[in-house]
Amino acid sequence: MKSVSVVIIGAGPAGLLLGQLLRTSGIETVILEQRSPDYVLGRIRAGVLEQGAVSLMRQAGCSERMDKEGIVHHGTALMVDGEMHRIDFRELTGSSVLVYGQTEVTRDLMDARAASGATTIYDAEDVSLSGLDSTRPVVRYRKDGVEHEMACDVVAGCDGFHGVSRRSIPADVLKTYERVYPFGWLGLLSDTPPVDDELIYINDPRGFALCSMRSQTRSRYYIQCGLDEKIEDWSDERFWDALQARLPDAHQSRLVRGPSIEKSIAPLRSFVAEPMRYGRLFLAGDAAHIVPPTGAKGLNLAASDVYYLWQGLKDFYHHGKSDGLDGYAEKALARVWKAERFSWWMTTMLHRFPDQPAFETKMQKAELAYLFSSRAAMTALAENYVGLPY
Ligand code: APR
Ligand code: PHB
């Protein structure tokens, strides 16, 4: 049977970043991915990196393009009741975020992995895990109709929300926590200049909207929509009209419309699985937790999980110590829950909930009024947005 130190399930940003970091530490990995590289790169996700994620890309040796093309943002705007309120990250926290798309992060990591010669098996079907509670787990998969198996020391479950890793933890061990929100985000990507230099989060009576970007010439916009909406019913024209209506007056005339490159509807969900470790299986990223996208924490949380796991694996292989791995789940979850709270709070504060009781509406208004009146509250938002320490 073939054998490798670490098998990573999933070639999303979590799996690829872990693979590159382990490589810098001389730890050998094989990545098993059920899809093709093009399919993985076709998924459009958020585009805001905390300094922690930026630093990990640098440590992984994958930051050349990111450092050139990423746009530093020192603040963001929240628009409520027609008024713009800027949250100044630099003044409130001394820090900033980097706008660089997750697709680009994934592409850079994929290219670096391919150049390094490390093994990534794409189109791996029916991946299954066994012996996770032993010291020598076995991973099986099928490729081009041929069955394969591989022994390893550790399995990193980086296979996203629908992956096999979390499902391989016995049901009586796993506990899950979930909130499903009664709306989705309809997103549109277009090669048009962004409507503003910074991101704008909008709480409008017609529903939430977000103006984001990928570059000076590529915009990413979202509007809140019902869960029963069908993408076929949303022509580009209808999307642009709905977005424009939610924009601040001054921005309405500045909005540049163009054909969509991508348009999709995503449901919003908060989800955490505990523990993030079972025997020699360690979950990281969306395999263990989902945040609603308000605040762009998904990729950043995957990055902090990967950091803790990398540290634990270095201790294990270089010093023969398992303390880091033993403490992984607890450390990662402490940060995960804080980001869950922040993402839930931003979502609750900025969206219009269908059939919202009048009391809840008043609470939302009071929350926002307090936020904009208090430097302490704005600092709390800013320090979570730029990213809590690892
Ligand atoms: N076998 C092999 N690979 C699998 C399997 C499986 N059974 N199931 C899923 N995968 C692959 C998926 O095809 C995908 O490429 O695992 C990868 C998981 O990638 P992501 O879903 O992008 O998850 P993650 O790497 O944790 O990224 C976290 O991505 O979704 C955003 O909000 C999230 O921004 C966050 C970031
Ligand atoms: C995005 O650019 O896609 C984006 C930015 C910020 C968010 C969510 C998504 O909070």
pLDDT at 163: 98
Q: Which ligand sits nearest to residue 199's alpha carbon?
A: 2
| H/E stretch holding 151 | strand 146-157
If one residue of 7, 31, 33 were mutated to test the ligand 1 pocket, choosing by the most ligand atoms within 8 A of its CB, it would be 33
pLDDT at 46: 86
Spacing, Cα 163 to ligand 1 middle (Å): 7
pLDDT band at 33 (very low <50, low <70, confident <90, very high): very high
For 83-95, the DSSP string reads EEEEEEHHHHHS-
Q: How far apart are CA 359 and CA 333, in angstroms?
A: 32
214: Cβ below 6 Å to ligand 2? no
Interval 216-274: pLDDT, tens: 999 999 999 999 999 999 999 999 999 999 998 899 999 999 999 999 999 999 999 99
pLDDT at 53: 98
- At 275 the three-state DSSP class reads coil
Q: Which ligand sits nearest to residue 101's alpha carbon?
A: 2
Ligand 2 atom 4 nearest Cα: 46
220: Cβ below 6 Å to ligand 2? yes
152 secondary structure, DSSP code = E
Active site residues: 73, 201, 293, 297, 385
48: Cβ below 6 Å to ligand 2? yes
Burial of residue 158 (CB within 10 Å: 0-12, 13-18, 19+) is buried
127: Cβ below 6 Å to ligand 1? yes
Q: How far apart are CA 105 and CA 54, in angstroms?
A: 10
pLDDT at 110: 98
pTM of the model: 0.97
Interval 45-85: pLDDT, tens: 889 999 999 999 999 999 999 999 999 999 999 999 889 99
Omega before 275 cis (within 30°)?
A: yes
pLDDT at 388: 98
Q: Which ligand sits nearest to residue 301's alpha carbon?
A: 1
Which runs of consecutive H residues, i.e. helices, occur in 70-224? 89-93, 102-116
Contacts of 204 by beta carbon, 8 Å cutoff, 6+ apart: 79, 245, 246, 352
Give the pLDDT mean for 88-115. 97
Q: Which residue has the tokens 């704008």?
A: 200
Burial of residue 185 (CB within 10 Å: 0-12, 13-18, 19+) is buried
> First and final CA of the chain: distance in angstroms?
38
Q: How far apart are CA 340 and CA 300, in angstroms?
A: 12
Spacing, Cα 371 to ligand 1 middle (Å): 35
Judge contact between 264 and 16, C-beta under 8 A: no
35: Cβ below 6 Å to ligand 1? yes
pLDDT for 161 beyond 90: yes
What's the gap between Cα 105 and its chain centre? 11
Spacing, Cα 290 to ligand 2 middle (Å): 15
Which pair of structure tokens corresponds to residue 27?
A: 């730890």
Ligand 1 atom 10 nearest Cα: 159
Ligand 2 atom 3 nearest Cα: 46
Ligand 1 atom 8 nearest Cα: 163
CATH of 2-72+97-179+269-351, picked from 3.40.50.1860, 3.40.50.1240, 3.40.50.280, 3.50.50.60, is 3.50.50.60
Tell me the pLDDT of the chain averaged across its residues: 97
